[in-house]
Amino acid sequence: MPTVEVDPDELRELTGHGDRSDEDLREDLFALGIEYEGETDDGAFELEFAPDRLDRLSVEGIARSLRYQYGDDRGVYMPAVNDPEWTIHVDGDVPADRPYVTGAVVRGLDLDEDSLESLIQLQEKLHATMGRERVKGAIGIHDLTMLKGAAATTEEPTEAELDDARVETAASGGKSIRYTGIGKVDDRFVPLDSDKEMTPVEVLNQTETGRKYAPFVSAYDRMPAIYDDVGLFSFPPVINGKRTEVSADSRDLFIEMTGTDQWTIDHMLTIVCYALDARGGRVEEVEVTYADDAVGEDASATLVRPDLTTRTKTAAHADIESMLGIDLDGEEVVDLAERAGLNATRADADGTSVASADTGDDGLAYEVEIPPYRVDVLHPVDVVDDIGRAFGFNDLGPRYPDVSTVGGRHERSRLERATRETLVGLGFQDLLNFHLIGRTENFNRLNVDPGTDVLGGGEPAAIKEPYSEAFEVVRTWALPSLLRVLENNTHRSYPQDLSEVGFVAERDDDVETKVAERRSVAAVLARNDASYEDAKARLRAVCRTFDADLETPPTDHPSFIDGRTAEVVIDGESAGVIGELHPEVLVEHDLELPVAALEFDLDALR
């Protein structure tokens, strides 16, 4: 879950509630579903929350939510936006793996170290969440005064210009920058935190940030690159150039985002614009023009960004009442929606007809307007949730549902229980072991080879990236687990009679999931005079309890002593093995006394 660091003083300032104590704020935040995890050394709150409300990844966004909660703000807020002066041209050389770009200009900021830090944090947190570690979307923020825009042109660049990405396009009217793709050594720039000009490949090999993102950027056909009139200034998604670095003195910012999905980067941009608007910045649109031969769905399109338009969902009154389990009147719903930062209009008020399927029996419904930063709203049910939060879920009284059903246990679960009870009655300590085990543990230490036709010799389901050597595969049988317990308890008093009715599995291509999953009954008798007969006496008792016929024809198994090993045949079906464990296996497990053991398939007792 995302965590953000938020200075409580900034929260008080941005909400205009200087009187809220730290304690008050923590309670207010908890009510929003934001959990206080602790404090940093300089007194900032460390806050954790679920990754739905990504607009709360900044102190500005959290402050906005608090203002709605306090009732200071109501309804949808839309920042004022100025018309575009800047254009981002996207040409046909753009990497096919990263075809999309978006951008915005924000002017008139009065940043200080704290608000700059907050902006950098928002950028990092958006990278980690919506940006999927920059793969899906990456943010570059630049000092606008350091950018030299070529005058924008409505004409397409010439072929020659497109061939050489370093040639700037001519312009008339506004200013422009260009998103393109270049070869790994085609150009050089000074990246952030460096004094040296580097090519993209040098950035990937020689800088810390470069090495971090090299794994997926190296696979791109071309290196993403952004140019202004001066030259290359950004190498997304890896690093910006030093020339346009933002400081607390920067007043005007240029924000660009590149990625694999236009919707995603547009919404990341929206969240950043809302945060900077809350800091007193003035958002200015940017035009994004995709060349006809640009890669992706946007070829030939001209987009104006940020896209601060609201979306609308239709929520039926009956659905709201049914979900919350209370009666509400229309006024209340509209009020609750506004307290949640939404606008709701009764769809029947001005005679607007609404598809009857959406409106429930009484036909009443609401057109609910969703602000653009709410990337989490996918369905009217999300609007209902917002209305419930504004009402206060804990103010709804619990009520036991008036629904009658008949309970019962799964047949296998009853069989497992009956078997365990029988074994416990025979004096066995019931065990509950892990299903994951090391290969050595499961096979080698019991002299069993995988892929052999003996109990435990199945091919195991294997984990791709195991936690450790002790947990590489799903166990194919249960006796290795029991022997581990014996091995770990040699300092405890004997006899140690242990049993487990548990899960085992092996590969089987005939099964839907390619793994045959079974329940196995396993038992060991570790005592000074343990013998085959002791084990068989107990196996007989188990079979008798389940009215099952038991036969024990001689067999051999690599874990047991030849001549003291039998096949467990229950009701005529081969089900497992019983015998005295081979001293080699005993010594391997540091045991100094004989162990008689048995294991068979639980289904044999059905």
Partner 1 sequence: MKLPETQVAVLEAASADDPRTVESTADETGEPEPSVTGAAFSLEEEGLLAVEETTETDIYLTSEGESYAFEGLPEHTLWATALSLDADERPVDLGRVLAMTTLDDDATDIALANFARKGMGEIDDGGVSVDPDYDLDADPEKRHLDALDEADDGADPADFDADVVERLQGRSLVEEAERTVRRVTLTEAGVTALMEGVEVAETVDQVTPGLVTSGEWAEVEYADYNVEADAEAVYGGRQHPLRGMAERVKDVLVGMGFQEMQGPHVDADFYINDCLFMPQDHPARTHWDRFALEAPAKIDTEDLPADLVEAVERAHREGVGPDGEGYHSPWDEEFARALALRGHTTSLSVRHLAGLADADLEPPERYFSIEKGYRNDTLDATHLLEFFQIEGWVMADDLSVRDLMGTFTEFYEQFGITDIEFKPHYNPYTEPSFELFGRHPETGELIEIGNSGIFRPEMLNPLGVEADVMAWGLALERLYMLVTGAEDIRDVHGTLADLEFLRTEEVTY
Q: How far is the CB of 1 from partner 1 (least distance, A)?
A: 9
Q: How far is the CB of 389 from partner 1 (least distance, A)?
A: 5
Residues in the chain, how many? Answer: 606
Residues 38 and 20: their CA atoms lie apart, in Å, by 18
Residue 424 interacting with partner 1 (CB under 8 A):
yes
584: three-class secondary structure by DSSP: helix
Residue 503 interacting with partner 1 (CB under 8 A):
yes
Q: How far is the CB of 143 from partner 1 (least distance, A)?
A: 30
Place of tokens 């580097």: 198
Site for partner 1 in 113-172 (CB under 8 A): 132, 136
Stretch that binds partner 1, among 116-124, 329-337, 383-391, 595-603 (CB under 8 A): 383-391
Residue 398 interacting with partner 1 (CB under 8 A):
yes
8 A C-beta contact, residue 309 and residue 357: no
Q: Other C-beta atoms within 10 Å of 172: how many? A: 10
Residue 435 interacting with partner 1 (CB under 8 A):
yes
Stretch that binds partner 1, among 106-114, 274-282, 283-291, 402-410 (CB under 8 A): 402-410
Phi, psi dihedral angles at 126 (to 5 degrees): -65, -35
Near partner 1 by CB under 8 A: residue from 22, 229, 245, 261: 261
Residue 433 interacting with partner 1 (CB under 8 A):
yes
Q: Which two tokens mark 110?
A: 């009065």
Residues 479 and 31: their CA atoms lie apart, in Å, by 51
Near partner 1 by CB under 8 A: residue from 38, 43, 215, 427: 427
DSSP 418-457: HHHHHHHHTTPEE----SEE-HHHHTGGGTPPTTSSSTT-
Residue 544 interacting with partner 1 (CB under 8 A):
no
Residue 406 interacting with partner 1 (CB under 8 A):
yes
Q: How far is the CB of 3 from partner 1 (least distance, A)?
A: 14
38: three-class secondary structure by DSSP: strand
CB-wise, 108 or 392, nearer to partner 1? Answer: 392
- For 247-337, strand residue ranges (E) read 253-259, 282-290, 302-305, 311-316
Site for partner 1 in 45-64 (CB under 8 A): 50-53
CA 542, 543, 545, 546 torsion-angle sign: positive
Near partner 1 by CB under 8 A: residue from 83, 159, 355, 361: 355
Residues binding partner 1: number (CB under 8 A): 97
Near partner 1 by CB under 8 A: residue from 65, 180, 209, 264: 264
8 A C-beta contact, residue 554 and residue 563: yes
Near partner 1 by CB under 8 A: residue from 156, 358, 534, 603: 358
Near partner 1 by CB under 8 A: residue from 39, 120, 488, 551: 488
Residues 490 and 472: their CA atoms lie apart, in Å, by 25
Near partner 1 by CB under 8 A: residue from 397, 528, 547, 553: 397
Residue 430 interacting with partner 1 (CB under 8 A):
yes
Site for partner 1 in 446-485 (CB under 8 A): 459, 461-465, 467, 471, 474, 481, 484-485
Q: Which two tokens mark 331?
A: 């006024």
List of long-range contacts for 25-31, beta carbons under 8 Å, 24+ apart? 28/66, 28/69, 28/70, 29/62, 29/66, 31/69
Residue 352 interacting with partner 1 (CB under 8 A):
no
Site for partner 1 in 509-538 (CB under 8 A): 509, 512-515, 517
Q: Taking Cα atoms as reference points, which of 473, 418, 398 lies closest to residue 443?
A: 473
CB-wise, 165 or 272, nearer to partner 1? Answer: 272
Q: How far is the CB of 395 from partner 1 (least distance, A)?
A: 10
